[in-house]
Amino acid sequence: MATFLGINLFGLFGQLLVGLINGSFYALLSLGLAIIFGLLKIINFAQGAMYMLGAFFAWMALQYMGINYWAALIFVPLAVGAIGILMERFLLRPIANEDHLYSLLLTFGLALILQGAFTHMFGSSGMSYAIPEELKGGNRLPFMYLPNYRAWIIIASLAVCVATWYMIEKTKLGAYLRAGTENPQLMQAFGINVPLIVTLTFGFGVGLAGFAGVMAAPVYSVSPDMGSNMLIVVFAIVVIGGMGSIGGAILTGLGMGVVEGLTKYFYPEASTTVIFAVMVIVLLTKPAGLFGKEA
């Protein structure tokens, strides 16, 4: 077995890969949260439920309608995004001028309702979703075995994250978003329909969670609590990265996945808590987060 300075490279790279995969999901979810928080100042507790919806929609589409993975990858995020749009328009907008605590509680309640409804319909044990034919198998690399689907997760998530980052930081549409985050009232006075942008942004942020859900279906068990388990970690990551920073959300998501993976190798007992330990350290030393702007 390959070792270096007494480290089992096979095991180390294996955990690094797991870390990168978890990190890809963290990045997608915290990116969605950061986008929504930036423009709407809403902390969307339903983001995890939307991720769960994404996985279930993909599973149901395959089971009931024979819609395959590739089609689901396109249409499920759109469907989840559409649910987000309805949610923003009819539930969040009426309380938009209230204290942000209300929207936080509302999204939290929605998450519980969705999770409860899916537990009622499908039970809590979880279902499996087959890896698509095209991505079965894998490659033997010098220090590890890399399954194709896992490589695909990392590549596709990164591509979506980078494309989103580019859209927000480098395009005119993104300039509207950034400016709308800063001073929505003045944007209206310039003739820009800010409420429409808010609705579409919420839909997009939620759609990202739906996309992550489809990606996750073949590797994690499709179960009603998959979102809530994920969300707690993702919130810690958002706190570490700093709310509202797009690039920060992506880098912190991936980075924390890797930190978690490395901890699993070197000191497995701490692997589930290491992210929260990092959060505490960051909060003590840099309260606005690693990439956040000091208020």
Partner 1 sequence: MSVVGDEKIRISDLHAFYGESHILHGIDMTVMQGELVTLLGRNGAGRSTTLRSIMNMVGRRTGSININGRETIDMSAHKIAHLGLGFCPEERGIFSSLNVEENLMLPPAVRSDGMSVEEIYEMFPNLYERRMSQGTRLSGGEQQMLALARILRTGANILLLDEITEGLAPVIVKKLGEVLLKLKERGLTILLVEQNFRFAAPIADRHYVMEHGHIVEEVHAHELEAKAEMLNTYLGV
| Cβ-based nearer residue to partner 1, 98 or 182 | 182
- How far, rounded to the nearest angstrom, does the alpha carbon of residue 37 sit from its chain's CA centroid? 13
Taking CB under 8 A as the rule, does residue 294 contact partner 1?
Answer: no
Taking CB under 8 A as the rule, does residue 288 contact partner 1?
Answer: no
Q: Choose which of 185, 285, 294, 295 interacts with partner 1 (CB under 8 A).
A: 185
Helix axes 226-241, 47-65, angle to 10 degrees: 140
Q: Choose which of 172, 285, 294, 295 interacts with partner 1 (CB under 8 A).
A: 172
Taking CB under 8 A as the rule, does residue 173 contact partner 1?
Answer: no
Taking CB under 8 A as the rule, does residue 179 contact partner 1?
Answer: yes
Taking CB under 8 A as the rule, does residue 183 contact partner 1?
Answer: yes
* Residues in contact with partner 1, shown as a per-residue x/- string from 5 to 34 under the rule CB under 8 A: ------------------------------
| Cβ-based nearer residue to partner 1, 113 or 173 | 173
Taking CB under 8 A as the rule, does residue 274 contact partner 1?
Answer: no
> Of 254, 247, 243, which is closest to residue 169 (Cα–Cα)?
247
CA distance 190 to 288: 31
Taking CB under 8 A as the rule, does residue 192 contact partner 1?
Answer: yes
CB of 179: closest distance to partner 1 in angstroms? 5
Size of the site for partner 1 (CB under 8 A): 18
CB of 196: closest distance to partner 1 in angstroms? 8
Single-letter residue type at 81: G
Taking CB under 8 A as the rule, does residue 175 contact partner 1?
Answer: yes
CA distance 238 to 196: 26
Q: Which stretch binds partner 1 (CB under 8 A): 21-29, 71-79, 189-197, 226-234?
A: 189-197
C-alpha pair distances (Å), 73 with each of 188, 208, 283? 35, 11, 36
Residues whose CB falls within 8 Å of the CB of residue 19, separated by 6 or more in sequence, listed in order? 257, 258, 259, 260, 261, 262, 264
The sign of the CA dihedral 171, 177, 182, 186 is positive
Q: Which stretch binds partner 1 (CB under 8 A): 127-135, 139-147, 158-166, 175-183?
A: 175-183
Taking CB under 8 A as the rule, does residue 181 contact partner 1?
Answer: yes
> Of 128, 284, 152, 95, which is closest to residue 218 (Cα–Cα)?
128
Taking CB under 8 A as the rule, does residue 115 contact partner 1?
Answer: no
CB of 47: closest distance to partner 1 in angstroms? 23
Q: What is the 3-state secondary structure (H, E, C) of 30-67?
A: HHHHHHHHHHHCCCCCCHHHHHHHHHHHHHHHHHHHCC
Taking CB under 8 A as the rule, does residue 176 contact partner 1?
Answer: yes
| Token pair recorded at residue 38 | 């930036």
| Cβ-based nearer residue to partner 1, 144 or 177 | 177
CA distance 164 to 46: 21
CB of 266: closest distance to partner 1 in angstroms? 39
Q: Which residues bind partner 1 (CB under 8 A)?
A: 172, 175-176, 178-179, 181-183, 185-194
